[in-house]
Amino acid sequence: MTIVEEQDGLGKYIVVYIVMLVITGIELLIASRHPSGGALLASMLIPAFLGAILGILYFMHLASENHKSIVAFTIFTVFVLAATTYGWSDSFRLLLGAPFAK
Amino acid sequence: MSHSEVALGGQHAGHHVPIMEPSPFAVPAKKLAMWLFIISDIMTFAACLVAYGFLRNSTANWPRPFQTSTIVSVLIMTFILVTSALIMALAVRAARAGDRAAAFRLSMITLVAGLVFTLLHIREWFGMIGQGVTFFKNPWGTGLFGGAYFSVTGMELLHVIAGLIALLIIAMGYKSGRYSAVDLENIGLFWQFINIVWMFVVPLIYFMNMAS
């Protein structure tokens, strides 16, 4: 069965496309100035997340899906992504050569 | 309801009872499955990237080997992949509108773009291998760099190749009428996911390790 839907405008696709390319350019510009570790990581991750959110909402059409699915997918995914950073602080301990806690 | 009633389509005493309850998310089952697969794949990539970040942060002499030529190559690859994502989104848009010919044509353009991306990626790998980078050693510093680099970019490349094969099969099937617009939309979702992952791989692997 073929479900025919009304076509949405091209404009939003072009805008998201341009924003994604601009984000890469901004990241390159920031990285070429070689900021310090934490600032560099944040300045790479924040634009990348912005691009990802735009891609998910408009290229993957999540914005036009049922709101229940948006909420369910978002909560589930963000929770697990946050949980993956659980051991992050241990990398600083390794870097500084600090002993394990007793 | 007995089994025989279910088999008859749930008709009982003149009332039509649906056999199955509707999807809680009001999306086709295949599409819901693809979203769940993508979520699980997000976890996989997140684990890889967090492990890479952990190693990079905890290693004092982490190499920063990427010269301008590599960065230019990565920018071209990014342009190709983001453009392919746009074209794939337009293919899905055409498929949703019932324009089978346009959807197929745009899918094929996406496929060609993906192939060019793959070839550039493999060329990039050969360049790194030519400089002496392996999984366990490299000329610049900690041996962990090669393992992290090949693992993360290899995962991405594996997904691109799998996506290309799936896209070819589904686009051909869609053209012949074997597959529906939902099937094309599903492979479109996967292709967009690949593009989104690349949006993280580029800054974290390449830009953060640019040579001074």
Tell me the one-letter amino acid at B110: T
pLDDT at B25: 65
pLDDT in tens, A42-87: 899 999 999 999 999 999 988 888 777 778 788 888 888 888 877 7
Over residues A15-36, mean pLDDT: 93
A71 near B CB under 8 A: no
pLDDT at B18: 61
pLDDT at B24: 63
A13 near B CB under 8 A: yes
Which has more confidence, B116 or A40? B116
Nearest-CB residue to A65 (from B27, B75, B83): B27
Tell me the one-letter amino acid at B212: S
Q: How many CB atoms lie within 10 A of CB B196?
A: 24
Q: Average pLDDT of chain A?
A: 82
> What is the band of A2 on the pLDDT scale with cuts at 50, 70, 90?
very low
Count chain A–chain B contacts defined by CB atoms under 8 A.
148
Interface of A with B in 73-102 (CB under 8 A): 73, 76-77, 80-81, 84-85, 87-88, 90-95
CB-based contact A13:A59 (threshold 8 Å)? yes
DSSP assignments along chain B, one per residue: --HHHHHTTSEETTEE--SSPPPTTSS-HHHHHHHHHHHHHHHHHHHHHHHHHHHHHH-TT----B-HHHHHHHHHHHHHHHHHHHHHHHHHHHHHTT-HHHHHHHHHHHHHHHHHHHHHHHHHHHHHHHTT--SS--SSS-THHHHHHHHHHHHHHHHHHHHHHHHHHHHHHHHHTSS-HHHHHHHHHHHHHHHHHHHHHIIIIIGGGB--
β-pair partners for B12:
B15
Residue whose structure tokens are 């793959």 = B118
Contact A73 B202 (CB under 8 A): no
pLDDT at B3: 46
A47 near B CB under 8 A: yes
Sequential pLDDT tens for chain B (212 residues):
444 444 444 444 455 656 666 666 677 888 889 998 999 999 999 989 988 888 888 887 888 889 999 999 999 999 999 999 999 999 999 999 999 999 999 999 999 999 999 999 999 999 999 999 988 888 887 888 899 999 999 999 999 999 999 999 999 999 999 999 999 999 999 999 999 999 999 999 999 988 77
Q: Is the pLDDT of residue A99 over 70?
A: no
Taking the CA atoms of A100, B49, B73 and A54 in sequence, report the sign of the dihedral they define: negative
Q: How far is B77 from chain A (nearest CA, A)?
A: 11
> How much of chain A is in helix, strand and coil states, percent to nearest 5?
75, 0, 25
Nearest-CB residue to B93 (from A7, A34, A52): A7
pLDDT at A75: 87
Residues B160 and B115: their CA atoms lie apart, in Å, by 9
Q: How far is A101 from chain B (nearest CA, A)?
A: 17
pLDDT at A1: 45
Q: What is the pTM of this model?
A: 0.85
